[in-house]
Amino acid sequence: MCACLQLVLGCDADEGLGEDPVAPSTSSVAPSSATWVLDWAPGDAQPLASGWTGVNDLGFTVTVEAGWIGSWGASLVQCADARVADAGLAVATPGLVARGHASGVDDLSAEVFDLVESLTELGVARGEARELDGARYCAAHYLLAPLSVLSAGVEQAERELDEHARALELGGASVLIIGSWTHPSRGAGTFVIRSDQAYGKILELELDADWDAGDRSRVDLVIRRPLDAMFDGVDFELDPADDAGWTVLGNLARGTSVTVEPGDARASEG
């Protein structure tokens, strides 16, 4: 696990890191301060009294009754490193190593959330402002990773899990989802999706539409995950839980956007 949590690109997919990095964005920023924000993009997902429902690309109507993911952290990728990654060479973002392991290099942009996020009680998590050194960044790295007893919010999540299925364990899982499915021609059923793999992805930076109106020296880096598309490609009748878990992790990582917003945007809302 340590090798993958060091986010070394080119790590074998079976070890838990994602696919080839995207090409570096034409957008670049050189802020003096940045704050990471975890958020959601619900899309076509429909909220229920408890949980939510949606339809995946294979025609399964999915109802999520309970679910959690492990958001380990995020870091910015300097433009020179993004170009190296695009060329297919190994490059590390060493600020996101496992707790207790030396990174070897200080990454001023790295935010270690090590956070349990509910997939039914959607929230926004905001890190502390990080002072940077004026480097220019073209991309960001987001990592989903297994939860531990030290993860923020794990005790509350475990209490909620006990209400649904006492036999299941949240510790060591990067994703755990409980729910049911129906299909027009294939009947109905229930499911438990679980994976203990890590999944990291380099994503191009996107500039917010109000960028010109904001302060470019202090920015928010808003990570939005695609709730409605997280089950795309999952065959609930045939796919084993581990395979489905890997697909969900990949959908969450690949479909994520990282938007650079004026740093005072959310502070003024609060």
Q: What's the pLDDT tens digit per position in 165-218?
A: 988 999 999 999 999 999 999 999 999 999 999 999 999 999 887 766 566 789
Q: Is residue 137 part of a domain?
A: yes
Q: Is the pLDDT of residue 18 over 80?
A: no
Ramachandran class of 59: left when φ > 0, alpha when ψ lies in -120 to 50, beta otherwise: left
| Predicted pLDDT at 267 | 47
167's tokens:
């036999």
Question: What does the alpha-carbon distance between residue 5 and residue 106 come to, in Å, rounded to a whole number?
Answer: 15
Give mean pLDDT, residues 112-138: 95
Given 3-state DSSP classes, what are the helix, strand and coil percentages for the chain, each rounded to the nearest 5?
20, 35, 45
Q: Is residue 31 part of a domain?
A: no
78's tokens:
């300097």
Domain count, the chain: 1
Q: Is residue 14 part of a domain?
A: no
Q: Is residue 226 part of a domain?
A: yes
Structural domain including 74 reads 53-79+110-262
Question: What does the alpha-carbon distance between residue 262 and residue 265 come to, in Å, rounded to a whole number?
Answer: 5
| Predicted pLDDT at 10 | 29
Percent of the chain past pLDDT 90, that is, above it, reads: 70
Q: Is residue 89 part of a domain?
A: no
Q: Is residue 10 part of a domain?
A: no
Question: What does the alpha-carbon distance between residue 59 and residue 34 come to, in Å, rounded to a whole number?
Answer: 40
Report the SS3 class of residue 91.
coil
> Which residue is associated with the tokens 């696990």?
1
Q: Is residue 33 part of a domain?
A: no
Q: What band does 13 get if pLDDT is binned at 50, 70 and 90?
A: very low
Q: Is residue 163 part of a domain?
A: yes
Going by C-alpha positions, the residue among 179, 201, 197 that lies closest to residue 119 is 179
141's tokens:
């790295």
